[in-house]
Chains A and B, each alone.
Chain A
Amino acid sequence: MNYIWCAMVIVSIIVSVINGRVEETLSSAFEGAESAVSTVLSFAGVMCFWTGIMKVAEKVGLSKKAEKLLKPVINFLFPSAGEEAKRYIAVNMSANLLGMGNAATPEGILAMRALDRENPRPEYASRNMCMLVVINTASIQLIPTTIIALRAAAGSADPFSVILPIWISSFTAATLAALSTRLFLR
Chain B
Amino acid sequence: MTYAIPAIIAAILIIALVKKQNTYDLFISGAADGMKIAANIFPPLLAVLTAAHMLRASGTLDIIINLLSPVTRLIPAEVMPLALIRPLSGSGAIGILTEILNEHGADSEIGRIASVIMGSTETTFYCLCVYFAKTRAKHTLKAVPFAAVGDIVGIVTAVLLIRLAKF
Chains A and B are bound partners: yes
Report if A24 contacts B (CB, 8 A). Answer: yes
The answer on a CB contact under 8 Å between B26 and A56 is: yes
Q: Is the interface of A mostly helix, strand, loop or mixed?
A: helix
> Does A78 sit at the interface, judged by CB under 8 A?
no
How far is B48's CA from A8's CA once the two chains are assembled, in angstroms?
9
Q: Are B46's CB and A16's CB within 8 A?
A: no
Taken residue by residue from 34 to 70, chain A's Cβ proximity to chain B (1 for < 8 Å, 0 otherwise) reads as: 0111011001100111111111110111100000000
The chain B residue sitting closest to A152, CB to CB, is B106
By beta carbon, the residue of chain A nearest B139 is A124
Task: Output the nearest chain A residue to B52 by Cβ-Cβ distance.
Answer: A32
Partner of A124, one of B23, B31, B137: B137
Q: Which residue of A53, A56, A134 is within 8 Å of B21 (Cβ)?
A: A56
Please give me the residue from chain B that is nearest to A30 by CB atom.
Answer: B50
**CB-defined contacts of A184 to chain B, threshold 8 Å:** 146
How many pairs of residues, A versus B, come closer than 8 Å at their CB atoms? Answer: 330
- 0/1 per residue, A163-183, Cβ < 8 Å to B? 111101110111011001100
Collect the chain A residues with CB atoms within 8 Å of residue B7's CB. Answer: none
Residues of B within 8 A of A73 (CB): none
Question: What per-residue 1/0 map shows which CB atoms of B122-156 lie under 8 Å from chain A?
Answer: 11100110111011111110110011011101100
Which residue of chain A has its CB nearest to the CB of B19? Answer: A60
Q: Which residues of A contact B95 (CB under 8 A)?
A: 36
Query: Is B72 on the interface with A (CB-CB < 8 A)?
Result: no
Q: Is B71 an interface residue (CB 8 A)?
A: no
Known: A1-B88, A113-B134, A147-B118. A154 touches B157 (CB 8 A): no
Give B61-99 as 1s and 0s: 1 = Cβ < 8 Å from A's Cβ atoms.
Answer: 001000000000000000000000100110010110111
Which of B1, B27, B29, B143 has a CB less than 8 Å from the CB of A53? B27
A29-B54, A177-B147 given as contacts; is B116 within 8 A of A62 (CB)? no
A36 to B134, CA, bound (A): 34
Which of A39, A57, A124, A164 is in CB contact (< 8 Å) with B167?
Answer: A164
A111 to B, closest residue via Cβ? B131
Answer yes or no: A109 CB below 8 A from chain B CBs. Answer: yes
User: CB within 8 Å of B: which of A123-165?
Assistant: 123-126, 129-130, 132-134, 136-139, 141, 143-144, 146-147, 150-151, 153-165
CB distance from A127 to the nearest CB of B (A): 9
Within 8 Å by CB of A109, from B63, B131, B137, lies B131
A-B contact list, 28 entries, CB within 8 Å: A4-B89, A13-B54, A25-B54, A35-B49, A36-B49, A37-B42, A43-B38, A47-B37, A50-B34, A56-B27, A60-B16, A60-B19, A109-B134, A129-B132, A129-B137, A129-B140, A133-B132, A134-B147, A137-B123, A138-B154, A150-B98, A153-B101, A156-B101, A158-B107, A172-B120, A173-B151, A174-B150, A185-B142
Residues of B in contact with A (beta carbons under 8 Å apart) = 1, 4-5, 8-9, 12-13, 15-16, 19, 21, 23, 26-35, 37-38, 41-42, 45-60, 63, 85, 88-89, 92, 94-95, 97-99, 101-102, 105-107, 111-112, 115-116, 118-124, 127-128, 130-132, 134-140, 142-143, 146-147, 149-151, 153-154, 157-158, 161-162, 165, 167
